[in-house]
Structure 1
Amino acid sequence: MKKILYALLGAIIIVGVILGGISLQNKKSSAVATDKTKVVDKPKDNPYKGKLKKTLSSVGFNGSAILVENNKVVDSYVKGNANDATGEENTLTTTYEIDSLQKSLTAGLVMQQINDGKLKFTDKVNKYIPNLPGASKITVRQLLDMTSGLSMGKLKFTGNSLTTDELLNEVIDNVKFTADNEGTWSYQPVNFVILSEIIQKTSGRTYAQLFNNLYVKKLKLKETEMAYNKVIKTDRSLGYILVDQNSGTVKKTLQKPNKATIKSELGTGQVYMSVKDFYKVLSNLLNGNLLGKEAANEVYLSSVANGAKYYGGLYTSKDPVYRYANGYGYGYQDHIRISQDGKKAVVVFSNYQYSGHGELKKAVDQLSSEVLK
């Protein structure tokens, strides 16, 4: 009996040793596997890293900039103050008055009305604004491409109140139609003010409502708002105009436009956005995600050519080919350079507007020729 017990005990010990060895081996294997998961491959070299700083740091840039490749930000550069008085610095979430860059977004709202069957490129303006000079001849397409023959100097407004009806009456009283210039391109922001008035009539909604529904809500934008909002919800920068003095110094002046003036920029320059939010909107317009690819091509690439290659608020470059726009005003200077599919872009927003200087634009153009091939 004792022999049997000893034999069983020995067998148990042997099995225990074997199982213990297996368990130890499993632990070692597990440890090795865990260690392997901690090994991180070195990131591939980013050929774009530092390009923005190298290009912009020497031209008096004060703002936010991003460089996009395959829909991803591959380089960014932020410099200077959003508010010189408080020392608050610019960041990638800082918002800037986008000025004329807004026209490309207004074109998107026009295309939305066309998609909805409420408007046509071939519609004559008198269908919506019968008493506008030249309205019986001018088409929606001509307004989009600024070949309408319309011209108007900058209107001056005082105070903080201006309705869109009051603005329209001012436009009707001051705009000039030259029949001989119809079909010839001329940069006249009034074209987009009229377009904005038209889409408000066709939709029964305000411009701000149309803008928020198509862009802010659909794309979940957090760094975008109308310039005239009573409650400021974004980290806005302040705009400054800088002028060289004979003494060799630079005079810097904070811009404080009244709200009536801001409201007069209907559809042409009354939105604050961050560089990332603006890229997000324009890329989704160009690639068709918001309007459809065919619609995007229709509004941003007209079949009726003009000398400036300007369609739907965007110019078209020659070599390399990309879409672009520039915005100036109220102490801001903004530039967008973007591939036709929206995948590549250079976005530069500055809250220092240098009067008479073209260095920042030249720097952006040079960079764009290198990275938007």
Structure 2
Amino acid sequence: MKKYFYVLIAVLVFAVIACYIVTLKSGDTVVSNTKTKTAITRIVDRKESGKLKKSLSKTKFSGTAVLIKNNKIVDSYVSGSATDVDKNMLTTTYEIDSLQKVLTAGLVMNQVNKGKLKLTDRVNKFIPDLPGSKYITIRELLDMNSGLSMKKMKFSGNNLSSAELLDVVIDNVRFDANTKKSGKWSYQPVNFVILSEILEEITGKSYKQLFDETYIKKLKLKQTEFAYDNNIKTNRAYGYVVKGNGDRIKQNPNGATVYSELGTGQIYMSITDYYKVISFLLNGKILGKNSAAKLYLPGKTKYRAGLYTSRKPFYRLANGYGYGFEDHVRISQDGKKAIVVFSNEQRKGRNNLKKKIDQLSKDYLNR
């Protein structure tokens, strides 16, 4: 009898280990090294398995992609090289570019919750020298219908303080009263630079301190850091621009340029860290459900607090481009289902990667 008992125990132990191993794919491990553990759970879903590879492999994809269902990874695809010697992994970190804006919006709403800011506040309360500031509200900056515009500036050197950046903005930003009056939308990253400057003004803390406190520390993110951090702790990918002839050119922006992206594109994150933050913002775990709905729920405009809206089917989305990176997120309003794709290659010419992601999203987020 004992013999059969021990055999049964051995079979059960083997079965448990085998099931656990099946759930692991490229880039995932069972060791405790914080560079290799992912921020969210992965499960086997045979219905979804292989969809990303089937779709994205046709684009010469270099990067990391995941499908999320019920807040868990049900499919992943990793391809290409992160650096000259390292392959991309599930835990590789990428410059998220404009996908940072939705996180900056979360920092703004956090201060609203604390009573330090109102969405109806006029900008001249904080930056009186900014053109048009007495006509523009915080809400209008978040939704980019402020009437402000600024051409892309060139910066040299390795340092640029927030105060210096604000001087550049005040000197170069333009306010169009007619555009503002009409409520016309215009994608202008300077809106989020101004929001970030206001955050620093009302809190007495740097944007980095606020980001660290609100996201990195509270959510225990291990694969997130600023582009200008000297002590690199994550598995960073290099960004490459790929020309029509196939030449792959590594991008290396100077320090001042990186600092100028205040609140708009200066963060490196793994794909799972990013999903964790954006899903927690949308479902109210960070801001509270009422505040999350007030900030992010779409109105008549196509853009709200860093996110666009697809109507048929209904989901939220954002795209990021710059410094050799291309990033996309497509996510349900409750954050439970998502497609997140980070690439460390910007290909010149037709944007086949975005097209594939949009095609996949219409099917996957419609179910």
TM-score (structure 1 length as normaliser): 0.88
2:336 to 295, 319, 343: 343
1:275 to 255, 271, 283: 271
| CA-CA distance at 1:357 after TM superposition | 2.4
Give the structure 2 partner of residue 3 of structure 1: none
- In 2, Cα distance between equivalents of 1:227 and 1:216: 15
Where in structure 1 are there 5+ consecutive unaligned residues? 1-23
| CA-CA distance at 1:356 after TM superposition | 2.5
- In 1, Cα distance between equivalents of 2:210 and 2:103: 11
The two structures, once aligned, show a CA RMSD in angstroms of 1.7
2:247 to 235, 246, 251: 251
1:318 to 302, 305, 311: 311
Relative to structure 1, the CA distance from residue 82 to residue 127 in structure 2 (aligned partners, 3 Å threshold; closer, same or farther) is same
After superposition, the C-alpha distances for 1:277-309 in whole angstroms (9 at most, x for unaligned) are 000100010110011011111111255x22xx1
Where in structure 2 are there 5+ consecutive unaligned residues? 23-43
Give the structure 1 partner of residue 221 of structure 2: 221
Amino acid across the alignment from 1:216: I
Mean CA deviation greater in 348-357 or 120-129: 348-357
- In 1, Cα distance between equivalents of 2:306 and 2:160: 25
After superposition, the C-alpha distances for 1:297-353 in whole angstroms (9 at most, x for unaligned) are 1111255x22xx110000010111111000000000000001100011111000010
* DSSP 3-state at the match of 1:295: helix
| CA-CA distance at 1:35 after TM superposition | 6.8
Please identify runs of 4+ aligned residues in structure 1 that moved more than 6 A.
41-44
- In 2, Cα distance between equivalents of 1:253 and 1:130: 42
The answer to whether 1:170 aligns with 2:163 is: no
Amino acid across the alignment from 1:339: S
Amino acid across the alignment from 1:70: N
| CA-CA distance at 1:252 after TM superposition | 2.0
| CA-CA distance at 1:371 after TM superposition | 1.1
| CA-CA distance at 1:242 after TM superposition | 1.1
* DSSP 3-state at the match of 1:58: helix
Give the structure 2 partner of residue 122 of structure 1: 120
| CA-CA distance at 1:40 after TM superposition | 4.9
The answer to whether 1:143 aligns with 2:144 is: no
After the TM superposition, which residues 152-163 of structure 1 pair with which residues of structure 2 at under 5 Å, given as runs? Answer: 152-163=150-161
- In 2, Cα distance between equivalents of 1:302 and 1:178: 24
After superposition, the C-alpha distances for 1:84-120 in whole angstroms (9 at most, x for unaligned) are xx32111011110000000000000000010000000
- In 1, Cα distance between equivalents of 2:9 and 2:235: 44
- In 1, Cα distance between equivalents of 2:351 and 2:148: 28
- In 2, Cα distance between equivalents of 1:117 and 1:194: 19
- In 1, Cα distance between equivalents of 2:132 and 2:233: 41
Give the structure 2 partner of residue 265 of structure 1: 261
| CA-CA distance at 1:28 after TM superposition | 6.6
| CA-CA distance at 1:32 after TM superposition | 7.6
- In 2, Cα distance between equivalents of 1:80 and 1:320: 31
After the TM superposition, which residues 96-135 of structure 1 pair with which residues of structure 2 at under 5 Å, given as runs? Answer: 96-135=94-133
| CA-CA distance at 1:358 after TM superposition | 1.1
TM-score (structure 2 length as normaliser): 0.89
1:285 to 281, 284, 291: 281
Aligned residues with identical type, % of pairs: 59
After the TM superposition, which residues 170-189 of structure 1 pair with which residues of structure 2 at under 5 Å, given as runs? Answer: 170-182=168-180, 183-189=183-189
Native 8 Å contact 2:98 2:321 kept in 1? yes
After superposition, the C-alpha distances for 1:49-68 in whole angstroms (9 at most, x for unaligned) are 00110010011210111111
- In 2, Cα distance between equivalents of 1:176 and 1:282: 31
* DSSP 3-state at the match of 2:328: strand
Give the structure 2 partner of residue 301 of structure 1: 297
Give the structure 2 partner of residue 370 of structure 1: 363
Relative to structure 1, the CA distance from residue 250 to residue 123 in structure 2 (aligned partners, 3 Å threshold; closer, same or farther) is same
- In 2, Cα distance between equivalents of 1:235 and 1:253: 20
The answer to whether 1:236 aligns with 2:236 is: yes
- In 1, Cα distance between equivalents of 2:276 and 2:267: 15
* DSSP 3-state at the match of 1:66: strand
| CA-CA distance at 1:45 after TM superposition | 5.4
Give the structure 1 partner of residue 40 of structure 2: none
After superposition, the C-alpha distances for 1:243-273 in whole angstroms (9 at most, x for unaligned) are 21xxxx2222111100100000000000000
Amino acid across the alignment from 1:173: D
* DSSP 3-state at the match of 1:260: helix
Mean CA deviation greater in 315-324 or 30-39: 30-39
